[in-house]
Chain A
Amino acid sequence: MPELAQRTAEVVDLGQRRKTFEEQLRTDLRFTADVHTVSSPTTSNKREATFEDLYSAGTISHALISRSRELLQDGAERIQAAQDLLAIGDEVGADQQVMLLQGVLPELFCCRGISEGSSAFVLALHYALANQRGAPLDGDQIFAIRRGLNFVRENLFLSFDRSLDFIDMLSDSKLVVDPPETAILTDVFTESSTDESAS
Chain B
Amino acid sequence: MSSPNQAQTKALVDTSVLTNALLKPSLEGRAATTAIKSFAESQLPQYAIKEFKAGPLRSYVWFHNKVISCANWEDAVNAISLIWRRHNLQSTALRALADFQSSISKQMPANLLQQYPNQTLGEIQRAEAILWLKIAVFRAWRNRGKLTTRVVSRLPCYQDCDPQVEPNGRIDDRPVVCGADDCSLRASFRNRTAELDALISACDQLPKKSETDKRRQALRQLRRFPDRPFEEKHCRALGDAVFALQCPKDAVIITTNLVDHGPLALAVGVSAISP
Count how many chain B residues have C-beta atoms less than 8 Å from C-beta atoms of the other chain: 59
Interface string of B115-146 (1 = CB under 8 A from A): 11111000010011001101110110011000
Q: Which B residues lie within 8 Å of A41 (CB)? A: none
In the complex formed, the residue of A with least CB distance to B139 is A164
- Given A180-B102, A192-B55, A51-B119 contact (CB < 8 Å): yes
In the complex formed, the residue of A with least CB distance to B211 is A194
Q: Which A residues lie within 8 Å of B132 (CB)? A: 123, 127, 178-179, 182
Whether A167 and B135, one on each chain, are in contact in the complex, defined by CB atoms closer than 8 angstroms, is: yes
Whether A164 and B135, one on each chain, are in contact in the complex, defined by CB atoms closer than 8 angstroms, is: yes
- In the complex, what distance in Å separates the CA atom of A195 from the CA atom of B112? 46
A118 to B: closest C-beta gap in Å: 11
Whether B80 and A188, one on each chain, are in contact in the complex, defined by CB atoms closer than 8 angstroms, is: yes
A120 at the binding interface (Cβ < 8 Å): yes
Q: Which segment of B2-10, B91-99, B217-225, B267-275 sits at the interface?
A: B91-99
Whether A184 and B97, one on each chain, are in contact in the complex, defined by CB atoms closer than 8 angstroms, is: yes
Q: Which A residues lie within 8 Å of B239 (CB)? A: 194
Q: Which B residues lie within 8 Å of A176 (CB)? A: 25-26
Number of A-B residue pairs, CB cutoff 8 Å, is 149
- Given A164-B142, A184-B97, A193-B107 contact (CB < 8 Å): no
A161 to B: closest C-beta gap in Å: 8
B90 at the binding interface (Cβ < 8 Å): yes
Count how many chain A residues have C-beta atoms less than 8 Å from C-beta atoms of the other chain: 48
- In the complex, what distance in Å separates the CA atom of A181 from the CA atom of B55? 21
In the complex formed, the residue of A with least CB distance to B22 is A186
Whether B104 and A106, one on each chain, are in contact in the complex, defined by CB atoms closer than 8 angstroms, is: yes
Task: Say which residue of B63, B100, B176, B236 sits within 8 Å of A181 (CB atoms).
Answer: B100
Q: Which A residues lie within 8 Å of B103 (CB)? A: 179
B33 to A: closest C-beta gap in Å: 10
Within 8 A of B (CB), among A182-199: 182-186, 188-195, 197-198
B95 to A: closest C-beta gap in Å: 9
B275 to A: closest C-beta gap in Å: 14
- In the complex, what distance in Å separates the CA atom of A189 from the CA atom of B51? 12
Interface string of A111-145 (1 = CB under 8 A from B): 01000100110011011001100000000000000
Interface of A is mostly: helix
- In the complex, what distance in Å separates the CA atom of A110 from the CA atom of B120? 10
Whether A127 and B142, one on each chain, are in contact in the complex, defined by CB atoms closer than 8 angstroms, is: no
A39 at the binding interface (Cβ < 8 Å): no
- In the complex, what distance in Å separates the CA atom of A130 from the CA atom of B143? 24
Whether B84 and A183, one on each chain, are in contact in the complex, defined by CB atoms closer than 8 angstroms, is: no
Q: 7 pairs across A/B with beta carbons < 8 Å?
A: A18-B115, A107-B112, A131-B102, A180-B25, A183-B24, A184-B94, A193-B15
Nearest 8 CB-CB pairs, A to B?
A193-B55, A189-B59, A198-B54, A197-B55, A178-B25, A184-B93, A110-B116, A197-B54
Instruction: Apart from A110-B112, A179-B103, list 5 A-B contacts with CB within 8 A.
Output: A120-B135, A178-B132, A181-B99, A185-B23, A194-B211
* Residue positions of A touching B, CB distance < 8 A: 18, 21-22, 25, 50-52, 105-107, 109-110, 112, 116, 119-120, 123-124, 126-127, 130-131, 160-161, 164, 167-168, 176-186, 188-195, 197-198
* Residue positions of B touching A, CB distance < 8 A: 15-16, 19-20, 23-26, 51, 54-56, 58-60, 63, 80, 84, 87, 89-90, 93-94, 96-97, 99-105, 107-109, 112, 115-119, 124, 127-128, 131-132, 134-136, 138-139, 142-143, 176-177, 210-211, 236, 239
